[in-house]
Amino acid sequence: MKKLALPRLTLLALLLGIGLQQANAQLYIGLHGGATVPVGFYAESRMSDNEWMFTQGHQRQAGAGTGWAAGIDFSYAMPFHSNLEILLAADFMQSGVSRDVEEYFTLRFSQRYNHCSRYEMILPRLRNIPILAGVQYRFPLTTTINLYGQALAGINLRYITPWSLSFADAEWNFPSDDESLLYNNVKVYTYAPATTFALRLGGGFFIKDIVSIGFSYNILGASPLVWNQTETVRYNVYGNLHVINNETHVDYYDLNPTLVLISIGVRLKAFSGSRRVQDW
């Protein structure tokens, strides 16, 4: 067996040397953008009189809506196999709330605060920034179209913008240049950022090795939903303004962003060079 192993290793080294002598090392830079579609618990929502899960924390559903994404990637075609590439990618993904969540708040809160002289609500936006590394393989279908598949892993940076709710009773009589003093009740929910493990599986087409059309499934990692709730209550006593400030910290169940990304992009060849080995 040892006698056979040495000739086989020698043959493999010679074949690899020939491949390195003839193949090109190529570096590509790609830009892409597209639409994100939430799936699973990240998309589902269950409305109730207790409001949405971002206030009470008793629901697992995030109620995320469709959104958009933009990203950049770097790919390096291996010298010994130009169809196999090392891939680095980073994306910015943003989603608003789903339509049923928005309609719930629009209808329910407009009824609840229809007696108010003024009312304002700003719903949060859900943002994810996956930074990934992995491999990509291209399979030629025609002279101009390549099919590709990719698998990447890395980290995801999750950030949720604050949710605020402000209203004033009809008899509120403290007009001010300061917007915060226009309301006798102001609630703000500030969510803590999180860093989690991320995984992406995807595929698509390259047209003339320039235009890309892609589809990927992104599991962006589970982490606890943590937020601070601050509430400022102002009330009028015989023409005098009194203020009460309350603060609550909530650390509840895991939020697990899962998104399907449909994208289109371009990629440019940034470097192309031959790697040669010395002739023996």
- Report the predicted TM-score, pTM, of the whole model to 2 decimal places: 0.80
Is the predicted pLDDT of residue 61 greater than 90, yes or no? no
Is the predicted pLDDT of residue 22 greater than 80, yes or no? no
Is the predicted pLDDT of residue 94 greater than 90, yes or no? yes
76's tokens: 């390096």
Give the separation between CA 93 and CA 257, rounded to whole angstroms: 11
Minimal CA–CA distance to 183: which of 109, 113, 120, 246? 120
* Domains of the chain with CATH codes: 25-113+123-160+193-224+254-270 (2.40.160.20)
Is the predicted pLDDT of residue 279 greater than 70, yes or no? no
Minimal CA–CA distance to 194: which of 218, 223, 227? 223
Q: What is the pLDDT of residue 131?
A: 97
pLDDT digits (tens, 9 = 90+) for 192-235: 999 999 999 999 999 988 999 999 999 999 888 888 889 888 88
Given pLDDT bands bounded at 50, 70 and 90, which one contains residue 15? very low
Q: What is the mean pLDDT of residues 97-111?
A: 77
250's tokens: 């909530």
pLDDT digits (tens, 9 = 90+) for 152-183: 999 999 999 998 888 888 777 777 777 777 88
Q: Is 111 exposed, middle or buried (0-12, 13-18, 19+ CB in 10 A)?
A: exposed
Residue written as token pair 């994208």: 263
